[in-house]
Structure 1
Amino acid sequence: MMAAAVAYANAMGWTRLEVSTPPLPAFVRSLAFYQREGFAVTGGEKLKLLLST
């Protein structure tokens, strides 16, 4: 599903994807998942993934 989201974003010309996770520590696994997928923490629980164009 992540690959499809990235492919769609690239096709649309978007430069990044952003997600937010629920409050930690209850959702540490969600945060870890997005970090494994290449997202970087930008502040609080918001993460972004810069896309190559």
Structure 2
Amino acid sequence: MVADKDFTAQWVQSHVPSLLAEPDRLRELGDKAWEYGIRDAADTMARRVLELA
């Protein structure tokens, strides 16, 4: 994770090329990222808003 204030063009230039050069590492990070968050958050939020309307 990168804080919004740290997510700059310079950060991208110094981190992204190495990830693109290592597809296995990129896949591993993607798999780990999949474990976080709520994938149906938008649908859940919309449904709850409609229930309140």
State whether TM-score is above 0.5: no
Q: Which is helix-richer, 1 or 2?
A: 2
Point out the structure with max Rg over C-alpha: 2
TM range (shorter): under 0.3
TM-score, normalisation: structure 1: 0.26
